Amino acid sequence: MSALVSLDSPVPDRFDAVTVAGEAMSREALFGAATALADRIAGARAVALRADASSATVVATLAGLIAGVPVVPVPPDSGPLERAHILSDSGAVLLLAPGPWTDTGLPTMPVDLTARSASTHREPAPDTTALILYTSGTTGPPKGVLIPHVAIAAGLDGLTEAWAWTPDDVLVHGLPLFHVHGLVLGVLGALRVGSRVVHTGRPTPAAYAQAGGSMYFGVPTVWSRVTRDEDSARALTSARLLVSGSAPLPVPVFERLTELTGHRPIERYGMTETLITVSTRADGERRPGFVGLPIAGVRTRLVGEDGSACPYDGETVGELQIDSPTLFQGYLNRPDATAETLTPDGWFRTGDVAVIDAEGRHRIVGRASTDLIKTGGYRVGAGEVEASLLAHPAVHEAAVIGVAHPDLGQEIVAFVVSGAEVTERQLIDHVASGLSVHKRPRRVVFVTELPRNAMGKVQKKLLTG
Ligand code: MLC
Ligand code: AMP
């Protein structure tokens, strides 16, 4: 059994301990099915998983944890290009719950929710890789972030303490199950704490309102949509905590949510590489625009452009760096990229620009690089979208930026110099079908040339959407 999550819980089991998109399972059924799958995948180097919002995704992830086999959750909306990269780069030897993906070249294995096994697996060492999560850099294809069991356990325990999360909570969310937010916090968190979890399939305001939870997770786009559906928002009044993360929560959304629900949302900050490191505490001050304090075990520091330590005066901006038991083990097959993220004394460079005030409260000001876009809480590298556009025969040049957007935080906008007849829709569909639907530009602006400096480098600051 895994020390990260176990069947034991201080509260009695229920038939609906874990509900995903309307399908309920007890903890006993879940662990029975996961152990049966663990029996079959034990010893594998890594297994990939078509990680749609389903019980199969939960069972398969748990199976990997039990067997000590790294799980690679693949976005279900990923196109052939992105999928092929993830499957080959990760070294996965098997594809679980393949659904319609019959063309990957990997052996496939369905996830049987009715299977049961009570066999005992040796507990994986704490530094065993639990998950390989693919995330975007500024350029190139996504990198595989190696997340060990020990990091997940430390991160979840820190949040459990900060949020006073107990087995009596009912967690509700509808976030994708291939990223830290939905999968690590939203599934493994509930399993580790022993609280019920209801995954709503999609994160719609109406589904959140109906679920009757005590704790809700959402990205800012979700909370913004909740505030625009006032009846659904008011239904959340009976909750204990509304938690926002993965992108900046606009202050007006914070305030409107407070008005409608009576709850000041909890904001927390993290990254795939670091897990969640900073959060407002349930018993602490919830100040709009701030993400709170480091969770237990995490150390943060602010470093100026000249490498000097920034004062914690709430004004001086610097790069946020992290030293934490929740850190990743590196990018798979990318020692160069891993080395770039670490300072000589071993701290992780987040690439986020922040201020810290005299009380230690953190505010994320922005990102150092404009080439990492956050859209609807998804991190998308401009370079990857540009490469996809450039692979279209009608595209001569392409530059992709994130433009401030009231619903998505940032929307992806592509500036394209085309050499042949092509429509905006065709280019959007080209990216959506090759990479992932959520990486598609929402708009394409056709231009005769891109602004370049004397060195020929595109000057993205001169592009306005
Ligand atoms: C639209 N669609 C297309 C399409 N255009 N399909 C194919 N081709 C095209 N050209 C379809 C989609 O398939 C989908 O269908 C529908 O249109 C809408 O898709 P969408 O664009 O994804 O929806 P949208 O409303 O924009 O989504 C908003 C959102 C989503 C908030 C629901 O962005 C989301 O789930 N965000 C969460 C991201 C997240 O969890 N990030 C955490 C990263 S971890 P259908 O049928 O599917 O509706 C992290 C660390 C931390 O950051 O701190 O947490
Ligand atoms: P990801 O790689 O998808 O995990 O994205 C991590 C990035 O999301 C961070 O580097 C931040 O830029 C951003 N992020 C996460 N949480 C917050 C938050 N609460 N406020 C502002 N930005 C956030």
393 C-alpha to center of ligand 2: Å?
34
How far apart, in whole angstroms, are the C-alpha atoms of residue 174 and residue 462? 37
Residue nearest to atom 50 of ligand 1 (CA): 271
pLDDT at 419: 86
- Ligand 1 atom showing the smallest separation from residue 77 Cα: 13
pLDDT at 455: 85
How far apart, in whole angstroms, are the C-alpha atoms of residue 183 and residue 18? 13
What string of pLDDT tens digits covers the 465 residues of the chain?
568 998 888 889 999 999 999 999 999 999 999 999 999 999 999 999 999 999 999 999 999 999 999 999 999 999 999 999 999 999 999 999 999 998 899 999 999 999 999 999 999 999 999 999 999 988 889 999 999 999 999 999 999 999 999 999 999 999 999 999 999 999 999 999 999 999 999 999 999 999 999 999 999 999 999 999 999 999 999 999 999 999 999 999 999 999 999 999 999 999 999 999 999 999 999 999 999 999 999 999 999 999 999 999 999 999 999 999 999 999 999 999 999 999 999 999 999 999 999 999 999 999 888 899 999 999 999 999 999 999 999 999 999 999 999 999 999 999 999 988 999 999 999 999 999 999 999 999 999 999 999 888 899 999 987
pLDDT at 8: 84
The finding on whether 378 has its CB within 6 A of some atom of ligand 1 is yes
3-class SS string, the chain: CCCCCCCCCCCCCCCCCEEECCEEECHHHHHHHHHHHHHHHCCCCCEEEECCCCHHHHHHHHHHHHHCCCEEEECCCECHHHHHHHHHHHCCCCEECCCCCCCCCCCEECCCCCCCCCCCCCCCCCCCEEEEEEECCCCCCCEEEEEEHHHHHHHHHHHHHHCCCCCCCEEEECCCCCCHHHHHHHHHHHHHHCCEEEECCCCCHHHHHHHCCCEEEECHHHHHHHHCCHHHHHHHHHCCEEEEECCCCCHHHHHHHHHHHCCCCEEEEEECCCEEEEECCCCCCCCCCCCEEECCCCEEEEECCCCCECCCCCCCCEEEEEECCCCCCCECCCHHHHHHHECCCCCEEEEEEEEECCCCCEEEEEECCCCEEEECCEEEEHHHHHHHHHCCCCEEEEEEEEEEECCCEEEEEEEEEECCCCCHHHHHHHHHHHCEHHHCCCEEEECCCCCECCCCCECHHHCCC
pLDDT at 139: 87
Residue nearest to atom 3 of ligand 2 (CA): 379
pLDDT at 3: 83
Residue nearest to atom 10 of ligand 2 (CA): 271
Q: Map out the domains of the chain with their CATH numbers.
A: 16-197 (3.40.50.12780), 376-462 (3.30.300.30)
pLDDT at 1: 52
The finding on whether 176 has its CB within 6 A of some atom of ligand 1 is yes
The finding on whether 181 has its CB within 6 A of some atom of ligand 1 is yes
282 C-alpha to center of ligand 1: Å?
29
pLDDT at 185: 98
What residues does ligand 2 touch, defined as CB less than 6 Å away?
135, 180, 245-248, 267-272, 291, 350, 352, 364, 367, 374, 379
**Which residue from 132, 291, 374 has its CB within 8 A of the most atoms of ligand 2, so it is best to mutate?**
374
The finding on whether 84 has its CB within 6 A of some atom of ligand 1 is no
Per-residue buried b or exposed e for 332-367, using 16+ beta carbons within 10 Å of the residue's own CB? bebeeebeebeeeeebbbbbbbbbbeeeebbbbeeb
Residue nearest to atom 15 of ligand 2 (CA): 246
Beta strand 196-199 pairing with 215-218: unpaired
